[in-house]
Each structure stands twice: as C-alpha cells, then as structure tokens.
Amino acid sequence: MAASLSSSSFIHPQLRHIVSKMTLFDTLLFFVIHFVDKLGFWHRLPVLLGLAYLGIRRHLHQRYNLLHVGGINGQKYETEEFSYRTADGKCNHPGDDIIGSQGTFFGRNMPPANSRYGLLDPHPTVVANKLLERNKFIDNGKQFNMIACSWIQFMIHDWIDHMEDTQQVELKAPDKIADGCPLKSFKFYKTKKVSGSAYTKTGSLNTRTPWWDGSVIYGNNEDGMRKVRTFKDGRLRIAEDGLLEHDEKGIPISGDIRNFWAGFSLLQALFVKEHNAENYPGFDDEKLYRHARLVTSAVLAKIHTIDWTVELLRTDTLLAGMRINWYGFLGKKIKDLFGHIGGPVLSGLVGLRRPRDHGVPYSLTEEFVSVYRMHSLLPEKFILRGIHSTASEYECPPVVEEVPMGEMAGKDGEKRLSEVGMEQMLVSMGHQACGAIKLWSYPSWMRNLVPHDINGEDRPDQVDMAAMEIYRDRERGVARYNEFRRNLLMIPISSWEDLTDEEEVIEALHDVYGNDVEKLDLLIGLHAEKKIKGFAISETAFFIFLLIASRRLESDRFFTTNFNSRTYTEKGLEWVNKTETLKDVIDRHFPGMTKKWMKCTSAFSVWDSEPNQTTYIPLYLRPAP
Ligand code: HEM
C-alpha cells in the first residue's frame, strides 16, 4: 500500500524514492505537507493550521533526517552521581556517558552528497567573487540588530566547531579572476576525517560540546573550565570593569575564544555576570558553581528559544511554535500552576520525564553547521554611539564614530572594547541593524581575514572566508542545494526562476552554474532563496532549525528528567522561570539602561524601532497573515 502510494503521480518524481521508504502512516502525513508545499502557503495559514503543518514536518524529519555517525562507545553510569553539567559534556545521555561530549562525531541529517561535481567545480573563489562579495551593505531593517548577530556567534561557539587536520590545502584563484580576489591564493587546514561510521565512510569531530551547556563561557573540558573559574564562591573570572580578563598576550579568558570580536566577548562577559550574580546560601564553591552553570545554561537556552528565534522568524505561527517548545500549548500560566502535565505538546519539551532522541544518539550535524553559515550578518563598520545624555526616558543616542569591523575583531577589538566599556558597546550594538542574508552581502573584510587557532592566537595565513565556506561544505560532503531540499522532503527547483524572481540574481547564477541547478552550492541557494515574509533566513535553512532546535532541548537530561528543583533548587528554577528575554538579563545587570535607550520590545530588534503592537486576538486564533 505504502509503495503504491509513493509511486503516485501526485508526488514530485524526484521525491518518490525517498517516500517509498516511509511507513504507510508517514506516507499519508507526507501527502499532507506535500500538498501544502505544492500550493506554497504553509506560512500563510492561520496559526493553528501552520502549527499542524510544522508538527507533521518535524515528525517526518525526526523519522527520516537523523543519522548517527560513528560508533557508540560509551558506558553506563550512575546518573544520580552526575546531577550537574560536566566540563567536557560527558554523562548527560542517561545510558551512555560519552554521547554529546567533546570530540564526538557530527551527525548527519541526510546521507553525504551524492554529487558528481568536483571540489573545485566551480572554483570557490569564482563563486565568492561573483555571488558573495558584498557590493553594498544591505541591512535587515529594524528586525535584527548587532546583539542578535553576536548572539548567534555566541551560540555557535557553545555548540560546534570542526576538528582540523594537520595537513593544509591551498586554494589558488584561477588567472581569469585572480585580480579581483583580495587573496590570490591562501592556505588553511583540511577538516579532519575520521573513519568508523555506519552511514558514511568517514565523519568529522566536534571540538566543542554540542549540548546547550554554556561551554562558550565555561569551556569544553577540564582545562578550559579551570581557566575560567576563581574557585571561590562558585564564581567565574571577570575583570573589574565588568569585561573579560585577558592573559599576558591580550587574549580574553573565557570558555571559547576562537575568532573573538568585541560584540562576542561582550556577551561572554554579560553571562559571566549572570553566573556570578547567583547565590545559594550554604553552598560551597563547587556546588555553587554547578548550580549556577545549570541555571545560566537554561537561561541561555530559553532566551534563544523564546526571544532570539522569535525575532529571527517574525510570524505569529513561529511565536506560538517557539513558546510551545518551552511552555507547551497550555502556556506558561498553566505550567507554573500545575507543572509539566500531558506530554510535550501540552507542556513543552522542557521538563519532559525522559529525554527523547528518536532512537538516534544526540549530536549536532554537518547540515546544521552549513545552514548556520551566516557571516553576511556582519557589517563593514561598527557604529559607535554616545551615551552621555541626561534624559531619563528613551532617546536615540548620537553616532560618535564608525569603526571598520576588522578593528573590532581580535586583540585590537578587545582594546577598543575596554576603552568604550560595556554599557556604550551594548547600547551601540542595540542601535545598529545587522546585515541581511542575501547574495552579494558577504563582509569584504572577511575575504582577507586572520583566523585564530583554537587557543585564540592569530594564524600566520590569512584566509578568504567566502571562498573557504564554499569549499568546506563540499569537502564535508554536505549536499548541494537541490539535493539538500529533496532530502528534506522539499520540492526541488527546476530552474533559477523557482529560486528567486530577481533578474540580476538569475543572470549571475546562470553565469556561474550555467543551467545546471543541481550544481548550485548550498550556501548560495540559502542566500538567494526568496524569503518568507518575516523570516531573516531561508525556508530551507529553517526546516533544519525546526528539527534541531527541538532536539537540543528534548535530548538533554538537564532540560528534561533533571529539570526539577532537586537538581536546580527551587531558587534556581525560579531564576530560569522569571527570565523570559535578554532584556530581563540586561535589566538585572544594567538597571535603567533599557528604559533610557530601548524603545522596542525585544533587545534583539533595533532599539529605536516601535514596540510590538498589542493584539487582542489570542495567539492561537490569529488568522492568516
Ligand atoms: C567577527 C566575527 C566572526 C569571525 C571573525 C568569524 C570567523 C570564523 C572562522 C575563521 C571560522 C572557521 C572557518 C573554517 O575554518 O572553516 C568560522 C566558522 C564558522 N562561523 Fe564564524 N566568525 C564570526 C562570526 C560568526 C557569526 C556571526 C556566525 C553566525 C552564525 C558565524 C558562524 C560560523 C559557523 C557556522 C562556522 C562553521 C563552524 C565549523 O566549521 O564547525 N560566525 N568563523
């Protein structure tokens, strides 16, 4: 029955072989989303129907888009003895101590690319020159500011980084375009390939702990953790001016310091403040540290889920969806009163009795890394604003300087930050829109970038990040755009016109890829794709988020079984429960700042934008946008 359904002419011919592997029930569910996809309107459905569509999609992705890579080599352990987040991410999965720890494999959301194209086809520098290089800065309007941009780097540095090989590779721009390249040739380390995987011959390793465990401030292993702790009263190290401390070379001391810049290190410092503000009388240093880490990590996860993502994907359906992930369909009030009742839909993923990994051990995936390649969010210049007005209510601060972004990065950026101070930096970031994720928006200063080693030191070889990112996806066997869509059960494109209606883009794609839509690189497709109204990212990238954003919460013992007062303490849980947004954290540490400098609702929108309008229609009953 399932086989005859999957050969139905209703299904796009290129999706039939994927659907043929589904159960009958899932095939029927697939029919529903495929029907909606053909009409291209899930995002125009009323909130409840939109949620139903996303629920079905997420279910299918959980069944067919989670592939484990590598062996499962861990051991059973006593979970009761580890009711805290360990330094290297071990002892979180209830049945295996290694899953999710530092140095484990990246998983996959689909098999490695099946493509016939070579690593240099077309040459990454040609793609970078003709499709990525920024010709004019285009911002995200008022939707997303520089805090939002830094926030996602802050989260990336909590979750993922590929282990490198010791061997280098050199990319040389072909003669025809070499003159137009900031670097005619450049060297970088290959991604380390490790064998021993069930679905792939080789896989790569994550040097960060993939759990949402705050490793960006706490470190990814015992050494990293020791560097940041004071070993007194559970505190983390922080300088007197409220910013990060630095070592004798001027490198900041924090959990992850690779490719740091002023905005990123400011967020690290803010969350060190958050950690240090927690206080549990009677606890010794170790106990206090462990509790404050649990609570701060949960605050990070919560802000990302119900504040940052809601601003990234500004629609009623996503607002409802993200709140359901945290609080459930019944909402915060009911959950506060009755606790977690009735399963994940009614009460959310947080607080589930047991973690759920859908039969596939938790990891973050190669495809997740690829869809988070969002360097186009970074502008060319950082706009510094003055904050010395005496007004007490909202005011737009004047611009005092426009600093090239390169000067805000690395050690120079740290010097700048310490001159400016935390308050002025935060207000300036709040008022500056970040870049849009579009073609021709890749920061030009990143095409000649000094990358960092894992210990934050400058490397001797500059890199062209735009070209390197194209190479990375190909090197790691990430499917190109159209294959990626098919694997995500999306309707593939058959011409450039299916991707975009911008003439200029179509012409440029034709110039680089001819008529071969299969050749289109993933990064280029994600940047060129016509966006859903309110979304700052592409729909294709979003479907990976839909799967992984839930997974980061539901697979983690400390957001499920152990999200309780026994593990967090009553006070700790209350801290998490009372913190809803980044604004709450800013208000805690800088009282008066948002009142004076922020007009909008979320700290991730441009601060001089209008606050959200009050709508009297209940969220779930809101009609089509
Ligand atoms: C000043 C800010 C930033 C600098 C200097 C920077 C620099 C870098 C460098 C040098 C790499 C390694 C490239 C490689 O070897 O493949 C990298 C990787 C990456 N960056 Fe950034 N980045 C910045 C901000 C951001 C932001 C805002 C995002 C947004 C999501 C981001 C997302 C990523 C991702 C997803 C990777 C791939 C990680 C991996 O390969 O595992 N970065 N970045």
pLDDT for the residue 624: 80
Dist CA 570 CA 488 (whole Å): 41
First-to-last C-alpha distance (Å) of the chain: 38
Among 211, 108, 86, 226, which Cα is nearest to 160's?
Answer: 211
Is the CB of 310 inside a 6 Å radius of any atom of ligand 1?
Answer: no
Q: What is the mean pLDDT of residues 39-46?
A: 96
Dist CA 153 CA 254 (whole Å): 14
* CB-CB contact of 108 with 568 (8 Å): no
Report the separation in Å between the CA atom of 390 and the middle of ligand 1, taken as the mean of its atom positions.
39
Is the CB of 149 inside a 6 Å radius of any atom of ligand 1?
Answer: yes
Alpha helix (H) residue ranges in 456-537: 465-475, 481-487, 496-499, 503-513, 522-528
Contacts 24+ apart (CB under 8 A), 74-81: 74/98, 74/99, 79/557, 79/561
pLDDT tens string 145-180: 999 999 999 999 999 999 999 999 999 999 999 998
pLDDT tens string 52-89: 999 999 999 999 999 999 888 899 999 999 999 999 99
Is the CB of 156 inside a 6 Å radius of any atom of ligand 1?
Answer: yes
pLDDT above 90 (res 201): no
Task: Check if 442 is active-site.
Answer: no
Mutate to test the pocket of ligand 1, among 171, 380, 465, 538 (most ligand atoms within 8 A of CB): 465
Instruction: Return the C-alpha torsion angle 259, 261, 266, 269, nearest 10.
Output: 40
Residue type, 543: F
The H or E element that residue 394 is part of is none
Is the CB of 584 inside a 6 Å radius of any atom of ligand 1?
Answer: no
Q: Which atom of ligand 1 is nearest to the CA of 469?
A: 16
Q: Which atom of ligand 1 is nearest to the CA of 259?
A: 5
Task: Provide ipTM, 2 decimals.
Answer: 0.98
Is the CB of 369 inside a 6 Å radius of any atom of ligand 1?
Answer: yes
* CB-CB contact of 521 with 473 (8 Å): yes
pLDDT band at residue 428 using 50, 70 and 90 as cut-offs: very high
Is the CB of 162 inside a 6 Å radius of any atom of ligand 1?
Answer: yes
Is the CB of 378 inside a 6 Å radius of any atom of ligand 1?
Answer: yes
- Measured in degrees and rounded to the nearest 5, phi and psi for residue 403 equal -105, 130
pLDDT above 80 (res 491): yes
What would the DSSP string read from start to end of 102-133? TTPBPBBSSPPP-----TTSS-HHHHIIIIIB
Is the CB of 468 inside a 6 Å radius of any atom of ligand 1?
Answer: yes
Is the CB of 152 inside a 6 Å radius of any atom of ligand 1?
Answer: yes
In eight-state DSSP terms, residue 79 is G
pLDDT for the residue 198: 66
pLDDT for the residue 115: 83
Dist CA 610 CA 511 (whole Å): 42
Cis ω for the linkage preceding 625 (within 30 of 0): no
pLDDT for the residue 225: 98
Exposed e or buried b per residue across 385-416, where buried means at least 16 C-beta atoms within 10 angstroms of its C-beta = bebeeeeeeeeebeeeeebebbbbbbbebbeb
Lowest mean pLDDT among 49-63, 198-212, 443-457, 596-610: 198-212
Q: What is the mean pLDDT of residues 559-570?
A: 97
CB atoms within 10 A of CB 339: 10
pLDDT for the residue 602: 98
Q: Which atom of ligand 1 is nearest to the CA of 377?
A: 27
For the chain, the structural domain boundaries read: 104-277+354-388+398-557
Report the separation in Å between the CA atom of 153 and the middle of ligand 1, taken as the mean of its atom positions.
7
Paired tokens of 244? 């990060």
Whole-number mean pLDDT of the chain?
96
Paired tokens of 164? 């490198």
Q: Residues 6 or more apart from 70 whose CB is under 8 A from it?
A: 104, 105, 194, 196, 197, 203
Q: Residues 6 or more apart from 204 whose CB is under 8 A from it?
A: 105, 106, 162, 163, 191, 192, 193, 194, 366, 476
Rg (the chain; Cα; Å): 24
Mutate to test the pocket of ligand 1, among 155, 162, 259 (most ligand atoms within 8 A of CB): 259
Dist CA 500 CA 493 (whole Å): 10
Exactly one of 218, 289, 327, 372 is catalytic; name it: 372
Among 246, 272, 265, which Cα is nearest to 413's?
Answer: 265
Report the separation in Å between the CA atom of 375 and the middle of ligand 1, taken as the mean of its atom positions.
7
pLDDT tens string 311-351: 999 999 999 999 999 999 999 999 999 999 989 999 999 99
Helix, strand, or coil (residue 486): helix
Report the separation in Å between the CA atom of 480 and the middle of ligand 1, taken as the mean of its atom positions.
20
The H or E element that residue 596 is part of is helix 593-597
Q: Residues 6 or more apart from 542 whose CB is under 8 A from it?
A: 313, 532, 535
pLDDT band at residue 1 using 50, 70 and 90 as cut-offs: low
Nearest Cα residue to atom 39 of ligand 1 = 161
- Tell the residue number behind the tokens 């679905």, with chain if given: 199
- Tell the residue number behind the tokens 């510094």, with chain if given: 384
Residues of the chain with pLDDT > 90, as a percent, come to 93
Mutate to test the pocket of ligand 1, among 153, 171, 206, 475 (most ligand atoms within 8 A of CB): 153
Alpha helix (H) residue ranges in 329-365: 331-338, 343-347
Q: What is the mean pLDDT of residues 491-510?
A: 98
pLDDT for the residue 389: 78
- Measured in degrees and rounded to the nearest 5, phi and psi for residue 407 equal -80, -10
pLDDT for the residue 7: 73
What would the DSSP string read from start to end of 201-216? SEE-BBSS--SSS-HH
Paired tokens of 622? 């809101």
CB atoms within 10 A of CB 617: 10
pLDDT above 90 (res 497): yes
Is the CB of 259 inside a 6 Å radius of any atom of ligand 1?
Answer: yes
- 510 labelled ligand-binding: no
pLDDT band at residue 2 using 50, 70 and 90 as cut-offs: low
Report the separation in Å between the CA atom of 441 and the middle of ligand 1, taken as the mean of its atom positions.
15
pLDDT for the residue 199: 67
Q: What share of the chain is helix, strand, coil (3-state, %, to 5)?
A: 45, 10, 45
Report the separation in Å between the CA atom of 312 and the middle of ligand 1, taken as the mean of its atom positions.
19
pLDDT for the residue 614: 87
Report the separation in Å between the CA atom of 451 and the middle of ligand 1, taken as the mean of its atom positions.
9
How many residues are present in the chain?
625
- Give the Å distances, CA to CA, from 606 to 304, 327, 387: 17, 27, 16
Report the separation in Å between the CA atom of 359 and the middle of ligand 1, taken as the mean of its atom positions.
30
Helix, strand, or coil (residue 185): strand
Is the CB of 522 inside a 6 Å radius of any atom of ligand 1?
Answer: no
Among 301, 304, 278, 317, which Cα is nearest to 350's?
Answer: 301
* CB-CB contact of 135 with 110 (8 Å): no
> Strands 185-191, 164-172: parallel, antiparallel or unpaired by DSSP?
antiparallel
The H or E element that residue 556 is part of is none
* 104-277+354-388+398-557: CATH superfamily: Haem peroxidase domain superfamily, animal type (1.10.640.10)
Q: Which atom of ligand 1 is nearest to the CA of 261?
A: 1
* CB-CB contact of 384 with 424 (8 Å): yes
Q: Which atom of ligand 1 is nearest to the CA of 405?
A: 1
Nearest Cα residue to atom 12 of ligand 1 = 451
pLDDT band at residue 242 using 50, 70 and 90 as cut-offs: very high
Nearest Cα residue to atom 41 of ligand 1 = 161
* CB-CB contact of 43 with 533 (8 Å): yes
